[in-house]
Structure 1
Amino acid sequence: MSEYVKAVIMGMIEGLTEFLPVSSTGHMILAGRLLDFEGAVADTFKIVIQLGAVLAVLVLYWKRFLGFLKVTPAALKRPGINIIHVIIAMIPFVITGFTIHGFIKERLFGPAPVLIGLVAGGVLMVLADRYRGKVNAETMDDISYKQAFGIGLFQCLAVWPGFSRSGSTISGGMLLGTSQKAAAEFTFIVSVPIMFGATAYDLYKSRDFLTSADIPLFLIGLVAAFTVAMIAIITFLNLVKKLRLSWFAYYRFALAIAFFIILYL
């Protein structure tokens, strides 16, 4: 199988799973093992193509992001989330990611840590489903600054591949009193600056071994991820109204068991 075909497959997996609480990075690491798509360049590829999925959010929510650019006292006093909510939610993740970036890439980008993350993240989701707080933020625009910061703290769990950013933040939001749908939409919004920053930082850290020959591979993955994510976001928002978070946790448990058998037995 050519590297370009692998890039398309990986991009499709990324686009399909980025906004589902099942861990896109975890899926790509496991798929990379099956496809023999591993190594330093592949690890950077798995980070960078997440930008393709995030660009889909930017397209679908462009009006909301334009509104964030209006940073005026009047705009910040209006009901609804604003740029301050996003910054507050980003800070814990940014600090954590920059602090242990090297450890993550060197020690956690492998199947075993991913399987642990899938199970641990699934347990968190089951607990959030069972012990969710009293809902006081039915829509994304009802989310308070305190809830935004709390969601940001839960997002730090996602530095462990397999845990899932959306799984962590949606679980955190539900435990803090947001509806499942509100937490999911807020996760989409926060993911845009987070992934732009993560992509830029990872490319910078990988500058010594990436070459111009890698550009087509990365572009193919980005396009595939963007295309599939456009469909996946809309589908997930519909699913999240109907499916309890636990159902996604059960899928994670099944996936972890299946890959444990495939890889280690």
Structure 2
Amino acid sequence: MQDIIHAIILGIVEGLTEFLPVSSTGHLILAGDLLGFDGEAEKTFMIVIQLGAVMAVLLLYWKRYIAMLRDMVKLDFKKKKLNVIHMFLAMFPALIVYLLCNDYIKRVLFGPGPVLISLVAGGILLIIAARAKRKVTAEETDDLSYKQALGIGLFQCLALWPGFSRSGSTISGGLLLGTSQKAAADFTFMISVPVMMGATVLDMYASRDALVSDDLVLFLVGFIAAFVVAMLAVVTFLNLIKRLRLEWFAAYRFVIAILFYVFVMA
């Protein structure tokens, strides 16, 4: 019963943090450490429940996904329109790094210490991106070039270090590459669905020998909790990330890192 309660708590944490550039994975690792919820299966659990949260994005952007699939079937890749090539270019770099480094990431970086370091480093990146002088060439997602999509994909590789934040890394990358904050945020959340679907499938397959039937119950409970909370929060939080200055999220990351270090690790 205690594990079920922990799964619900972590699902709520995931649903509340997935759409903000504060690192949902980092929060899950820190919360899991406080709850004593750790181990190989728990690391996979933290990836699976992220899919629950991003499914809320699927419901929000489903018309865009359908339109891109139709264009793909018709081989209609218009220059001034977001299409599956943009999506592939943004996902491919992180997929390669994930396949090459997944064991190292889960063995070394899934811990409170590395997360605190990446929370601070990711916050610094947010500040740099927010204050960088750049010419905006993509006000909307349909204005994104293939080069910008690939560049955002390279920044997304940073998010494989828990605590960096996938949305924080990709939005920062977008700003540095000349997109508006709105376009960067929209594109970030659109690529989150296929990225997390792929990550969940790959991680569950890689961890199949360490999983037992009881784990599947926990995964389902956490998945549902994350999905429900994310559905309640998604529109508000997506609007927030498009409008609020990134320095505020950076400050929050610094505060969380300091408090956890002082009161838990010191």
Short-chain TM bin: over 0.9
Q: CA deviation at 1:47?
A: 0.8
Q: CA deviation at 1:79?
A: 3.0
**What amino acid does structure 1 have at the position aligned with 2:41?**
V
* Percentage of identical aligned residues: 61
Q: Taking structure 1 as the reference length, what is the TM-score of the superposition?
A: 0.97
Given that residues 53 and 222 in structure 1 are in contact (C-alpha distance below 8 angstroms), is that contact kept between their aligned partners in structure 2? Answer: yes
Given that residues 182 and 243 in structure 2 are in contact (C-alpha distance below 8 angstroms), is that contact kept between their aligned partners in structure 1? Answer: no
Partner of 2:69: 69
Partner of 1:129: 130
Q: CA deviation at 1:5?
A: 0.9
Q: Is residue 2:223 matched to residue 1:222?
A: yes
Number of aligned positions between the proteins: 265
Aligned equivalents of 2:8, 2:133: Cα separation in 1:
38
Q: Is residue 2:161 matched to residue 1:160?
A: yes
Q: CA deviation at 1:96?
A: 0.6
Q: CA deviation at 1:262?
A: 1.7
Q: CA deviation at 1:242?
A: 3.2
| Aligned residue runs from structure 1 range 188-203, under 5 A | 188-203=189-204
**What amino acid does structure 2 have at the position aligned with 1:170?**
I
Partner of 2:260: 259
**What amino acid does structure 2 have at the position aligned with 1:81?**
L
**What amino acid does structure 1 have at the position aligned with 2:123?**
G
SS in 2 for 1:190: helix
Q: CA deviation at 1:59?
A: 1.2
Unaligned runs of 5+ in 1: none
Q: CA deviation at 1:257?
A: 0.3
**What amino acid does structure 2 have at the position aligned with 1:40?**
E
**What amino acid does structure 2 have at the position aligned with 1:198?**
A
Given that residues 132 and 177 in structure 1 are in contact (C-alpha distance below 8 angstroms), is that contact kept between their aligned partners in structure 2? Answer: no
Unaligned runs of 5+ in 2: none
Partner of 2:207: 206
Q: Is residue 2:52 matched to residue 1:52?
A: yes
SS in 2 for 1:76: coil
In structure 2, relative to structure 1, the CA distance for the partners of 1:206 and 1:143 (3 Å cut) is same
Q: CA deviation at 1:78?
A: 6.0
Aligned equivalents of 2:42, 2:73: Cα separation in 1:
42
Q: CA deviation at 1:263?
A: 2.1
Partner of 2:240: 239
Q: Detail structure 1 runs of 4+ shifted over 2 Å in the superposition.
A: 72-75
Partner of 1:5: 5
Aligned equivalents of 2:79, 2:89: Cα separation in 1:
17
Aligned equivalents of 1:130, 1:7: Cα separation in 2:
38
Aligned equivalents of 1:249, 1:3: Cα separation in 2:
32
Aligned equivalents of 2:31, 2:143: Cα separation in 1:
38
Instruction: Tell me the alpha carbon deviations over residues 116-173 of structure 1, each in whole angstroms, 9 at most, x when there is no partner.
Output: 0000000000000110421111111111111100000000000101000000000000
| Aligned residue runs from structure 1 range 4-153, under 5 A | 4-70=4-70, 71-72=72-73, 75-77=76-78, 79-153=80-154
Two-structure CA RMSD over aligned residues (Å): 1.3
Q: Taking structure 2 as the reference length, what is the TM-score of the superposition?
A: 0.96
Aligned equivalents of 2:115, 2:188: Cα separation in 1:
21
